[in-house]
Amino acid sequence: MKAKEQFNNLKQKYENMDARRYFLMLGIFMVLYFVWQETIMYVLTRTGGFNPNYFAVLFFSLLNGILIWGIIVIIPSRARRIVMNILFIVATVFICAQLIYYSFFRTYFILSSVGRGGQIVEFMDIILQLIWNKLWAIILLFLPVIFFASLLSKGKSDFKSSMSWKRFLPLIAAFVIGAGVHLLFFFLPKTHAAREYFFYLNRPYQASEYFGTYTAMGIDLRNSIFEIKGTQDKLHDDYSDPTLPTMPTLTTTLPTGENPGETHANSNSTQPAETQAPTETVPPVIDDSPNVLNIDFDALAAGRDSQILAQMDQYFSSVEATSKNEYTGIFEGYNLIVITAESFSRFVPDPELTPTLYKMMTEGFYLKNFYNPIWSVSTYDGEYVVLTSLYPKDGVWSLYQIASRDQAFSYPNRLPDYASYAFHNHTFDYYSRDISHPAMGYDYYALGRGLDVTPSWPESDLEMMELSVDKWIDQEPFNIYYLTVSGHAAYTRIGNAMVTKNWHRVENLPLSEEAKCYLACNLELEDAMTYLLERLRDAGIADHTLIALSADHYPYGLSNATLNEFAGEELDHQFELYRSSGIIYVDGMEPVEVNKPVAAIDLMPTIYNLMGLPYDSRLLMGRDMLSDSPGLVLFNDLSWISEYGRYTSSTATFEVQAPYNPESIPEDYVASINDIVHNRFYFSRLILDEDYYAQIGPLTVTTGP
């Protein structure tokens, strides 16, 4: 009773507070509300210890607090209570939703996805578990709302009559400070990531590192209403890539026990080597012409009515094409199978547990530095990168949007004489794949659309293979795409059908339960690949079927503790978190080791070069891994990895990697690569926005000189 009496006295005190005190009390509360919320979010969504950017977040918390203070004090007293309560409840619900989303996807959702969130009910059990796990944090986030609704919202002061024009001071201050921030950003160096996220990019999670979650959501809202412009609109006077020093390729053939100069014809001879007559080996002539189509970009630019299209023509004419090489066309006429494997990672291939995946990884093109950067729309953006060799556009479902565009470089369109099928063992219309995948040229099958896999969570990759292979195996040449799902989180004994199915195969491993559950899920992928290879071998076509596999993203459903357990160390979340395994494999091929940094976006141009297909390497954002083009991996936060080292955008620092040293780094190298990074993201977006492939005429199969 005493506590209730004290609360009522406090409540009455706030209700009867004079206008000036209540005015100041509201201002203090607004600032503390944002500081409280942003601090909780920063602690729970950032890794790697204290980040000085937190001080910038505090500044924007102050700015947001003053802005909201300025708005609510000019609202009439009768409406103020209702408006404020609704405002704080809605804002806190959104920030809690971002926390829950981050807990699973390790990024923030974009507002354009909210209207398409109906399919999320399929994961309601996972969502409820995440809410339960973060309930304590949700309560902390709602504490200021409860305090405000119970006490501060009761104030009855009429600021209009008591404070006159002074009630506008917070709003004026907010606009003055905000204008100052805008001017400050314009004077920052053009490579400064904060400026990019504030004006030109729509990446809420990355932006929240500098501005806080609320400001990041505000930027997302602004960009959802007004079409954002790319970095080039403000930062460049011309539109071309800088010239970089030529880097030696680090691609080498693995030792096979043969004399490097010995030809396969000689090694396969049945005649003893010592009795063979010596012959002069004439090295083959290698065509090292550029991989381009016959496109006159200068003529296109001269005839444009659109300045943007002319700008694109200018840029693509300046891009250095990758060259043909010793691997060009070695798989010409082969069948093609491309696989996007749910949450696959470098922790899965193992010579004993997953021998098929391990064999394919190490006995094909062994990609020693392969990365799977994460993008804004999770799996769907991961598919977009693999299926288009373009970077996703911020704030949209890029693969859905490109369905209405010309897709001249899709696998089915580059292989028009092939039988093209796509398969997915989950709901057929999830992420609108029933629209995006047929638009690429695939005959699309999925659960609910001609592929009768057993409904479960997750569904079986092996069963998908068993039900689908007969549809295409006798239709050579074929072009097949698979999107798997068995590797999906959550990695628990309860609620995951693949864990239940394969638990007996992992239960005795010396690992934590979550780690064993993850491997149990991926054993289904192992079984699927084993079955696939067996069917190809039985049909006598495994040795002329090219298989490429990569993940959609790293296994973000794993806890940090389990990721560290797999890595055997505390995993670096800036770069090493995204190091993965990629597969480019033909049964019986001679292994080739690729050491330069490459990523999933490089798969398409590499495949096209291997198959000897005509394509224009300037029009794809990925690069042929086997060419002499320097390796470069781009990340969503504008960081990057090259053969020289690693650049972290948030700190604008470059770490040189062995065998290089700081003295060997060319002057302006980092600035030049930053320009290339900005160009690739910007023009990748414009290809989608402007339907650029349709604007340069039919992309014929005739290569240029």
Which pLDDT belongs to residue 276?
45
The pLDDT tens digits of the residues spanning 525-576 come to 999 999 999 999 999 999 999 999 999 999 999 999 999 999 999 999 899 9
Which pLDDT belongs to residue 668?
86
Amino acid letter, 240: S
Q: If we measure between CA atoms, which residue out of 632, 639, 552 comes closest to residue 599?
A: 632
Which pLDDT belongs to residue 250?
42
Backbone angles phi, psi at 420, to 5 degrees: -110, 120
Which pLDDT belongs to residue 181?
67
pLDDT band at 253 (very low <50, low <70, confident <90, very high): very low
pLDDT of 272 higher than 50: no
Q: If we measure between CA atoms, which residue out of 105, 46, 50, 173 comes closest to residue 489?
A: 105
Lowest mean pLDDT among 122-136, 200-214, 534-548, 667-681: 122-136
Which pLDDT belongs to residue 116?
61
- The pTM for the full model equals 0.84
Query: At 670, is the secondary structure helix, strand, or coil?
Result: helix
Q: In 106-188, which ranges are continuous DSSP H helix?
A: 111-114, 124-133, 135-150, 159-163, 169-186
Lowest mean pLDDT among 109-123, 225-239, 418-432, 468-482: 225-239
Which pLDDT belongs to residue 155?
54
Distance CA 405, CA 413 (A): 13
pLDDT of 512 higher than 80: yes
Distance CA 488, CA 496 (A): 9
Residue 164 is given by DSSP the state G
Which pLDDT belongs to residue 227?
66
CA distances from 516 to 44, 106, 354, 508 (A): 26, 21, 13, 9
Query: At 33, is the secondary structure helix, strand, or coil?
Result: helix
Residue-by-residue DSSP string for 512-564: -HHHHHHHHHHHHHHHHHHHHHHHHHHTT-GGGEEEEEEESS--TTS-HHHHH
Which pLDDT belongs to residue 232?
44
CA distances from 268 to 220, 263, 271, 352 (A): 62, 9, 9, 31
Lowest mean pLDDT among 218-222, 385-389, 539-543, 612-616: 218-222
Which pLDDT belongs to residue 541?
98
Which pLDDT belongs to residue 262?
34
What's the whole-number average pLDDT of the chain?
85
Domain boundaries, the chain: 2-228, 292-695
Which pLDDT belongs to residue 226?
75
For residue 646, the tally of other CB atoms under 10 A from its CB is 19
Distance CA 131, CA 126 (A): 9
Distance CA 168, CA 122 (A): 48
Query: Between these two residues, 324 and 662, which has the higher pLDDT value?
Result: 324
- Which CATH code, of 3.90.1150.10, 2.30.30.40, 3.40.720.10, 2.60.120.860, is assigned to 292-695? 3.40.720.10
Distance CA 679, CA 240 (A): 8
The pLDDT tens digits of the residues spanning 178-205 come to 666 666 655 555 446 777 788 778 888 8
Partners of 419 in the beta sheet?
Answer: 478
pLDDT band at 269 (very low <50, low <70, confident <90, very high): very low
Burial 332-363, CB ≥16 within 10 A → b, else e: eebbbbbbbbbbbbbbbbeeebbebbbbbbbb
The pLDDT tens digits of the residues spanning 311-366 come to 999 999 999 999 999 999 999 999 999 999 999 999 999 999 999 999 999 999 99
pLDDT of 306 higher than 50: yes
Chain-centroid distance of CA 3 in Å reads 52
The pLDDT tens digits of the residues spanning 37-84 come to 999 999 999 876 778 888 889 988 888 888 888 887 777 777 777 888
Average pLDDT over residues 439-451: 96
Query: At 191, is the secondary structure helix, strand, or coil?
Result: coil
